[in-house]
Chain A
Amino acid sequence: MTGFQLDLGVTSWGRVLRLLHQVARPAFRDEIETQIIAAAAEPRGVLGSGLRRSYGDSGLNADGHLIDMTALDRLIAFDPKTGRLTAEAGISLKEILSFAIPRGFFLPVTPGTRNVTLAGAIANDVHGKNHHGAGTFGRFVRELTLLRSDGSIRALSADDETGLFAATIGGLGLTGIIATAQIELIPISSAMMDAQTVPFGDLDEFFAVAAESEPSFDYTVAWVDCLAKGTALGRGLFSRGRHAAQGPLAVHEPGTGRNLPTDLPGFALNRLSIGAFNALYYRNGRRHVDLASVSYLPFFYPLDAIGNWNRLYGRAGMYQYQSVIPPTVARDATAEMLGQIAKAGEGSFLAVLKTFGNLPSPGLLSFPMEGTTLALDFPNRGTETLALLARLDGVVKEARGRLYPAKDGRLPPEMFVSGYPGLDRFRSFVDPGFSSSFWRRINA
Chain B
Amino acid sequence: MTAPSKTLRVLILGATSGIAEATGRIYAREGARLVLAARQPQRLEDIAADLRTRGAAQVELAVVGFAAEADYRARLVELAESLGGLDHILLAYGVLGDQEAAQSDWRQAADIIDVNFRSAAGWTLAAADYLEHQGNGSLVVLGSVAGDRGRRANFIYGAAKAAIATLVEGISHRFAGKGPHVVVVKPGPTDTPMTAGMKKGGLLWSSPQRVAAIVRRAADGGAPVVYGPWFWRYIMLVIRFLPASIFNKLNI
Contacts and interface: CB of A to CB of B under 8 A. Distances in A.
Interface string B27-65: 000000000000010110011011001100000000000
Given A3-B196, A5-B197, A27-B18, A76 B43 contact: no
Contact of A102 (B1, B40, B49, B193): B1
A75 B46 CA distance: 9
A78 interface: yes
A29 interface: yes
Contacts of B47: 74
B106 to A, nearest CB: 28
Nearest to B54: A75
B50 A74 contact: yes
Contact of A28 (B1, B46, B53): B46
B46 A77 contact: no
Given A75-B49, A75-B50, A102-B1, A28 B196 contact: no
Interface string A1-38: 00101000000000000000000010111100000000
Interface residues of B, number: 16
A313 to B, nearest CB: 22
Contacts of B18: 27
Contacts of A5: 197
Contacts of A74: 46-47, 49-50
Contact of B43 (A30, A75, A99): A30
Interface size class, chain A = 10 to 19
Interface in B1-47: 1, 16, 18, 40, 42-43, 46-47
Given A30-B42, A102-B1, A76 B196 contact: no
Interface string A282-297: 0000000000000000
Nearest to B17: A27
Nearest to A102: B1
A373 to B, nearest CB: 35
A78 B53 contact: yes
B248 to A, nearest CB: 30
A27 B42 contact: no
B46 A29 contact: yes
A75 B42 contact: no
Interface in B170-184: none
Given A27-B18, A102-B1, A77 B49 contact: yes
Contacts, number: 35
A102 B47 CA distance: 21
A325 B192 CA distance: 46
Contacts of B54: 75, 99
Contact of B53 (A25, A29, A76, A102): A76
B53 A75 contact: yes
Give the interface SS of chain B, mostly helix, strand, loop or mixed.
Answer: helix
B50 to A, nearest CB: 4
A153 to B, nearest CB: 13
Nearest to A251: B1
B193 to A, nearest CB: 4
B53 to A, nearest CB: 4
A5 B200 CA distance: 12
B16, B53, B197, most chain A CB atoms within 10 A: B53
A318 to B, nearest CB: 23
A61 B192 CA distance: 25
Contacts of B192: 27
Nearest to B16: A28
Interface in A81-106: 88, 99, 102
Nearest to A3: B196
Contacts of A28: 16, 40, 42-43, 46
Contacts of A88: 46
B197 A77 contact: no
A96 B129 CA distance: 41
Contacts of A77: 49, 53
Contacts of B197: 5
A179 to B, nearest CB: 11
Contact of B50 (A27, A71, A76, A102): A76
B22 to A, nearest CB: 11
Nearest to B50: A74
A27 B18 CA distance: 9
A250 to B, nearest CB: 11
A317 to B, nearest CB: 20
Contacts of B40: 28, 30
Contact of A76 (B1, B42, B49): B49
Nearest to A26: B193
A264 to B, nearest CB: 21
A235 to B, nearest CB: 43
Interface string B184-222: 000000001100110000000000000000000000000
A29 B197 CA distance: 19
Contacts of B46: 28-29, 74, 88
Contacts of A75: 49-50, 53-54
B1, B18, B50, most chain A CB atoms within 10 A: B50
28 contacts: A3-B196, A25-B196, A27-B18, A27-B192, A27-B193, A27-B196, A28-B16, A28-B40, A28-B42, A28-B46, A29-B46, A30-B40, A30-B42, A30-B43, A71-B193, A74-B46, A74-B47, A74-B49, A74-B50, A75-B50, A76-B49, A76-B50, A76-B53, A77-B49, A77-B53, A88-B46, A99-B53, A102-B1
Given A28-B42, A29-B46, 5 more contacts: A27-B18, A27-B192, A27-B193, A71-B193, A99-B53
